[in-house]
Each structure stands twice: as C-alpha cells, then as structure tokens.
A and B are shown apart, each in its own frame.
Chain A
Amino acid sequence: MSLSLKNPEFLIERNYDRCINCQVCERQCANDSHYYDEEMDKMLSKDENCVNCQRCVTLCPANALSIRQYPLEYRKNSNWTGEMINNIYKQAESGGVLLTGMGNPTPKKIYWDHILLNASQVTNPSIDPLREPMELKTFLGRKPGKLEFDENGNPFPLPPQLELDTPIMFSAMSFGSISINACRSLARAATASGIMYNTGEGGLHQDLYQYKENTIVQVASGRFGVHQEYLEAGAAIEIKIGQGAKPGIGGHLPGEKVGDEVSRTRMIPLGTDALSPAPHHDIYSIEDLRQLIYALKEATDYTKPVSVKISAVHNVAAIATGIATAGADIISIDGYRGGTGAAPTLIRDNVGIPIELALAAVDERLRREGLRDQVSLVIGGTIRNSADIVKAIALGADTVYIASAALIAMGCHMCQKCYTGKCNWGIATQQPDLVKRLNPEIGEERLKNLIRGWSLEIKEMLGGMGINAIESLRGNRLMLRGIDLNERELAVLGIKHAGE
C-alpha cells in the first residue's frame, strides 16, 4: 500500500512538565496511541491512532494529557469539508463502505430545541411535586375500548400490559454490540428502577435471565438467540423491522466481536460475522407481519405484549396504521438521529426523518383512524434529556427509549468507534481486558441515578404545568409551542407558534 493520505483526526497534547512516564495512558489505550520511548525516556504519541475517547485524559494521574481536533486545516471550502476529503482518501485506499458508530452528528435541525413547554401562572395553579403526589406510572399495551364482564359480573382480563414506574426504557442494544458488563448494568438498573431494558437482537446471555421481568426480548431477521425459553423470558417481545440509524439495511456484527460467549448466545461459529439482513424473509407485507406477531403470541399463549419497532421514514404514519391493524400491542419508532453500534455513515446521516415529526404524524393518524387506544407508542432516536421526554409525551408518545444517553451514563464519550470492538470504556467491546473496565455495579448505580434525576425533572415540569399525572400530558399538544418553525412544520407537529 502506498502512503496513506489520511491526516490524523486528533492531536494528543502531552504536558511534559507534568508527565511522570507512568505509562497509564499506554496501558489504557486499545488503539496504541501512546508508547514509551526508552532512548528518549519519555512518552510519545501516535496521533493517527487516536479516536478521542478521552480514556487516557481521564485516567492520567498527572493531568498531563489533552486531546483536540487536529489543527491541520484544508483550504477553506464550504462544499468540500475536511471530513469529506478525508472520507474520500479513506475509500480511495480501501474501496469499502464508510462505517461509523452512534447517532447522526450532522448539524440538521433538532425539533426538540424548537419546542417550548407551558407553565401555569395565576389562573391555573402549578403543583409542587415535592409535597404532592405526582404519578409517572405508565402502562404499555393494548387498551380495550370498553370493559366487558362475564355472567357473574367479573371483568374479562385486560390484554397484557407492561408496567413502568417512569416513562423511560433502555432501548435495544445487543450482547455482541455491547459487553456483558454493559448488559448487566442495564438489566440491573432497569430492575431497580422499575423500567425495561431491551436485549436487542443478540439473544439473552444465561446470566441475564434473572432480570426477565424487566426485559424486552427482541426478534430480528437473523433470529439470533431466539428460542422458546428466550421468548418466555421476555416481559414483552419486540419484532425489529428497522432502526433509526440505518433504516432499510441490516446489521453486520463483525467477527472480531464474536467471541465464545457471543458465539454460544447467538448460535453461530466463533469469529464469524453475525449477519442480520434488512428484511425478515417471512415478512413482505402487513399480512406477513401479522403472521409473525400472532406466531409469537401463540407461542407465548397471549401472555405478553408484542411490539414492532420501525425506523421513522417518509410514510411512517401509514405504516404505523398497518402495524396497529396487524395486531401489535406496541409500536416503537426510532428517529433518524438514533444511535447504533455500526452503520454505514452515509445511511446514518441521510436516511429517515426526525422523530419529532414522525411521532406527531403517527399519533395524529392513529387517533384519526380510531386506533390509538389499541397500541402504545414508544419513541427514541434521540432523547437527550428529560425535557425531550416531556415534549415527546405531549406530542403523543406513551414512553421513550433511551440508549445513547444510557451509554453516556455508563462512561461512553461518543467517539463513534463502537464498530472497532476496541471500546476503551468497556462498553462496546468483547475483549476481556476491556470488558472488565466497566464495573456493572457502578454502571447500575450511574444508570439508576440518571433515571432518578430525569424522573424528578419530569415531575417538576409536570407540576409547573399544573398536571399531576403523566397520563394527563399524553398527547396534550396545547402544552407545546414552537419557535423558529414555519407553518408547515407547525402543522405537522400539530402545535401553535409561541405567542399564539
């Protein structure tokens, strides 16, 4: 191979007045960005290997390190940005598809930031959540249009429901894409917080069966780790059709991440790529989807809600209607900013639509069709804080999925290199030496704290609006106003402009 034209993305700066040559940075970096030169008796860096995960910066006992964008700047050009030039060098050298991790980082409009919440003043008193009860409990599943009773006057049982203490769930992340310790952290935190986590499509590791009451098990096209015991273990079952980061394409878990445990859980040979193509080859229509939904219901004797997860795409409202009529109990929609362990960069950044608009359109359509009670709506991609959650619920969501935020709580620094399997924070890796860096007890604690903090904030915002139950906020778009939005955008969102 000829000389690589790629320039380093990041510059490692070492303050030699502080560096004590302890080599912690070298041991902590799975990308070999640091090394000790004996002749010079000093630590040196290989900038080109650095992914800016900040592991060395955080762990350096002498505070000697900092990392920043590489200062090399191409001639100013709004069309050909440095990133695009580097990407072309990368592809000219490899002939491959550009790959990336995590959610869409491009500076496209984030509608959450153009929506403002209401608060009570004078005419309608606000409620103080510190002193008064505030209900966040959320039930997911089909709600009957009316109650029916048997001849003795006893009501027929309700369709199965998921009960959540707060309207937040951890979104699908598979064992394989993330480490067993990351899975453990999520499962334990979900259990302790009275919410759900989602296995993703990688099956369920034996150690995680104990958390089954707080587990949503996923069934995707590759059917990895799907068997009767797995289906029975789930509090709910989710059929994965699409994912916001890569609508319309499947997943490839690279062989580097398929070690012993992943191989056993997924039932594929060691070191092979785990291939999950985009289509389920038994689903080519809404009728086929219905068939899988009911096969799963039959296999679990109608005891669990079945969810169908799709990515937000252009005709999402019509698709959601189809899913509702196909018999799904929950529809989960993932916006185009949603994260991933690996996706082709150009697909992540260019395919799909914003979740805010998709949610508003779906909720509106389901209401118009009289189907809204028959399904619960879960949205994700991306929820960044509790205000996003409150806005999502006011737009019509029953609850939200979070994944990137959960990873960040566990220590992720958003370097977007999950697909390399060399996550220095022990999250998106299967290398035993890296996996053990994430202590599941600490991971659990941090996730629990995040859920607690967000739940308190949601209560504060509800109280401010004079609402004392999350149920009263659901689909209550009068609590929302837009700013810097045009009439089309306001119409799709179904909200008024600020000042109206």
Chain B
Amino acid sequence: MNVINSKGIYYRELNKEIRKLVARGTREITLENVNGQRYIGDGIKEPVKITIHGTPGNDMAAFASGVEMTVYGNVQDGAANTMGDGKLIVHGDAGDILGYAMRGGQVYIKGSVGYRVGIHMKGYQEKQPVIIIGGTAGDFFGEYMAGGRLILLGLNREKESIVGNHLGVGMHGGIIYIRDEVEEYKVGLEVNISEADEEDRKEIEKLLSGYCEEFGLDLEQVMDAKFSKLIPVSSRPYGNLYAY
C-alpha cells in the first residue's frame, strides 16, 4: 500500500509518480488531499486499485483499461472518457460527459451527474460497459449511444426531474434503464420507451447488485419501483437521410 499526499503537487508530477509505482508492481495506491489534479489514472492497463480522497480534476481514468478507482468525493468532467475496462466508483457526484465512448467496465456514481453522460458508449457481444447513477442526470443522457447499459436510479430526490431533455438522441444501440416514468417529449425520435418487463428487471437486478453492495443500499428496496426501458427504434436512425 502506497500513500501519496497530493497536496500542492502538479498533475504531471503526480501522474508520473503513479505510473512509476505501477511500473514497479504496486497494485494499491491511495491519494490523499487530491484537489483538481487532472488525468489521474489515464491509460493504466494494470489491475491497480487507486483510492482517492478529495476532488480529482477532469478526464480521470480516461483511456484506462483495468484500473479500479474509488473516489471519496466528487469527480469533475470527463471521467472514464473512452475507458476500456476496469471500475470507477464515486462516493459523490460526477460532472459532464462521464463515460464518453466507454467500451467496457463499470462506473458507479452514488450521487448525480451532469450533461451528456454515457454518450457514444460502445458495446460488442459480451463486452458491454455499464454506468449506474444513483441520483439524476442532465440533458443529452445517452446521446449517440451504440452499446452498453445506462442505469439511472433517481434516488433521494425531491421535486427535481430524474433526467433532462434530449434523452438518447441519435441512439442506435445499447439500453437505458430509468427508475421512473419518462415523458415522451424528453426523448429523441430515435428512442422507444417501454416499461421494463420481467426479463429486463432480472438484468437490472443483476447489474445493480454490485452497485448496492458498494454503497450499502438495499437492493430489494431499489428494485421496488417501475423501470422505464429505452432502446433505439432502429440501428440506422439516419438510414434514409440521403438521396442516392
């Protein structure tokens, strides 16, 4: 176990230090007093566990593919950008464009997230990335989604809406599950809304078990609600756009 006090360290030095430790074979690293340092964990392929106390900066875990990161705090924009595999667990909120073009692994956010989360997510056969969000999400959730699973729970909210507008616009693959009803006007023309059936609920329950365990939630209680299921109407939403 290696502990780095990150206070006042420039991001480039901090990340260099992390890479050095990983290259030396360290598999558990704790970062204390993180305050806005960018790119933490980017591109790490090794199965390293990084625990972060504080608020990491933009683009954390970008292009990572195997690192398991737990953040006790909020994360800023661009976390898990094009993440290939591994895990990101956030005991707080996340900013915009979380999980852009994510290709594998899991992202668990305890709180809420910003705009354009889970856009361009990919998926191929059994390799399907998963993002689970405990709170609410902003506009353009799942825009251009091509694969994977997005689950939005909307727990612990009062009057605010569970999700913003332009939900799933341009979606052509993958599934979005939302633990509430979703108004028609919010979704893109490319999206079909239905209520999750038994089969779907089994999948949701399976995906949620790790999440609930992580954050100490009662799985049964979380499952005790209607889920909306959003899927693309067509795998070719713009197939007839052109004059040949």
What are the interface flags for A275-309 relative to B under an 8 Å C-beta threshold, 1 for contact and 0 otherwise? 10100011000000001101110111100000000
Indicate with 1 or 0, residue by residue over B177-192, a CB within 8 angstroms of chain A CB atoms.
0000000000000000
> Which of B19, B124, B237, B243 is packed against the most chain A CB atoms within 10 Å?
B243
Contact call A281/B97, Cβ cutoff below 8 A: yes
Let me know if B82 and A223 touch, CB within 8 A.
Answer: yes
* Contact A300 B38, beta carbon cutoff 8 Å: no
B162 to chain A, nearest CB (A): 21
Q: Could you tell me if A281 and B240 are in contact, using CB atoms closer than 8 angstroms?
A: no
Is B244 a contact of A420 with CB atoms below 8 Å? Answer: yes
For residue A96, which residue of chain B has the nearest CB? B243
Q: Which of B143-151, B153-161, B203-211 contacts A (4 or more CB under 8 A)?
A: B143-151
- Cα A171 to Cα B78 in complex, Å, equals 29
State whether B77 touches A282 (Cβ < 8 A): yes
Say yes or no for A154: interface residue by CB 8 A criterion.
no
Q: Which residue of A lies closest to B64 (CB)?
A: A228
Interchain CA distance A269-B128 in the complex, whole Å: 11
Q: Given that A254-B239, A282-B77 are contacting pairs, would A228 and B39 also be in contact in the complex, using a CB cutoff of 8 Å? A: no
Q: Mark B80-91, 1 if CB is under 8 A from A, else 0.
A: 011010000000
Contacts of B172 in A (CB 8 A): 268-269, 272-273, 275
The CA-CA distance from A95 to B241 in the complex, in Å, is 8
Contacting pair A99 B235 (CB below 8 A): no
Say yes or no: is B141 at the interface (Cβ < 8 Å to chain A): no
| Given A228-B43, A255-B236, A268:B19 Cβ within 8 A | no
A452 within 8 A of B: no
Whether A252 contacts B241 in the complex (CB less than 8 A), given A272-B146, A275-B170, A281-B100, comes out as yes
B33 at the interface (CB under 8 A from A): no
Q: How many residues of A contact B (CB 8 A)?
A: 46
Asked if A94 is an interface residue, CB under 8 A from chain B, the answer is yes
A90 with B239, Cβ < 8 A, contacts A231-B63, A281-B116, A282-B77 known: no
Please indicate which of the listed interface residues A254, A291, A419 has the most CB atoms of chain B within 10 Å of its own CB.
A291
Decide: B84 and A291 in contact? CB cutoff 8 A.
Answer: no
Q: Least Cβ distance of A174 to chain B in Å?
A: 15
Residues of B within 8 A of A300 (CB): 43
Contact of A91 among B103, B144, B243 (CB under 8 A): B243
* Nearest CB of B to A261, in Å: 12
Contacts of B77 in A (CB 8 A): 282
Residues of A within 8 A of B94 (CB): none
A263 to B64, CA, bound (A): 22
A97 within 8 A of B: yes
How distant is B212 from chain A, measured CB to nearest CB, in Å? 28
B43 touches A281 (CB 8 A): no
Q: Is A222 an interface residue (CB 8 A)?
A: yes
- Report B119 CB to chain A, min CB distance, Å: 6
| In the assembled complex, A27 has its CB within 8 A of some CB on chain B | no
Q: How far is the CB of A160 from chain B (nearest CB, A)?
A: 15
Given contacts A227-B63, A298-B42, contact A277 B146 (CB under 8 A): no
Contact (A281, B82) CB under 8 Å given A222-B120, A228-B43, A420-B244 = no
A94 in contact with B124 (CB, 8 Å): no
Specify which chain A residues have a CB less than 8 angstroms from the CB of B244 in the assembled complex.
94, 96, 99, 419-420
A residues near B42, Cβ cutoff 8 Å: 295, 298-299
Known: A227-B82, A298-B43. A255 touches B120 (CB 8 A): no
Tell me what chain B mostly uses at the interface: helix, strand, loop, or mixed: loop
A226 at the interface (CB under 8 A from B): yes
- The answer to whether A252 touches B58, judged by C-beta atoms less than 8 angstroms apart, is no
Which residues from chain A contact B140 at a C-beta distance below 8 Å?
281
- Contact call A268/B236, Cβ cutoff below 8 A: no
Task: List the A side residues contacting B45 at CB < 8 Å.
Answer: 228-229
State whether the Cβ of A264 lies closer than 8 Å to any Cβ in chain B.
yes
Tell me the smallest distance from the CB of B50 to a CB of chain A, in Å: 14
Given contacts A255-B235, A272-B236, A291-B59, contact A231 B43 (CB under 8 A): yes
A319 an interface residue at 8 Å Cβ cutoff? Answer: no
Residue of B nearest to A299 (CB): B43
Residue of B nearest to A265 (CB): B124
> Closest Cβ of chain B: how far from A69's Cβ, in Å?
20
Nearest residue, chain A, Cβ from B39: A298
Q: Are B243 and A272 in contact (CB under 8 A)?
A: no
Chain A 90-115: CB-based contact to B (< 8 A → 1; otherwise 0): 11011111110000000000000000
- In the complex, which residues of chain A have a beta carbon less than 8 angstroms from the beta carbon of B243? 90-91, 93-99
Contact present for B62 and A263 (CB under 8 Å): no
Query: Is residue B138 contacting chain A, with contact meaning CB distance below 8 A?
Result: no
Q: Give the residues in chain B near A268, CB-CB below 8 Å.
A: 122-124, 146-147, 172-173
Q: Do A299 and B62 touch across chains, with their CB atoms under 8 A apart?
A: yes
Q: Are A273 and B78 in contact (CB under 8 A)?
A: no
Interface centre among B45, B65, B120, B170 (most CB of A within 10 A): B120
What is the bound-complex CA distance between A361 and B3, given in angstroms?
51
Interface centre among A99, A267, A272, A291 (most CB of B within 10 A): A267
Q: Is A432 an interface residue (CB 8 A)?
A: no
Residues in A neighbouring B238, C-beta threshold 8 A: 252, 273, 275
Q: Does A61 contact B (CB under 8 A)?
A: no
Is residue A133 contacting chain B, with contact meaning CB distance below 8 A?
A: no
Give Cα distance in the complex from A275 to B238, angstroms. Answer: 9
Q: Apart from A91-B243, A99-B243, A282-B97, what 17 extra A-B contacts exist at CB < 8 Å?
A: A98-B243, A266-B122, A267-B147, A269-B123, A269-B146, A271-B236, A275-B238, A277-B144, A281-B97, A282-B81, A282-B96, A282-B100, A294-B38, A296-B63, A298-B15, A298-B42, A299-B62
In order of increasing CB-CB distance, the 5 nearest A-B pairs are: A299-B43, A223-B101, A96-B243, A267-B122, A272-B235
User: What are 5 of the A-B contact pairs (CB < 8 Å)?
Assistant: A97-B242, A221-B120, A228-B43, A282-B97, A298-B42
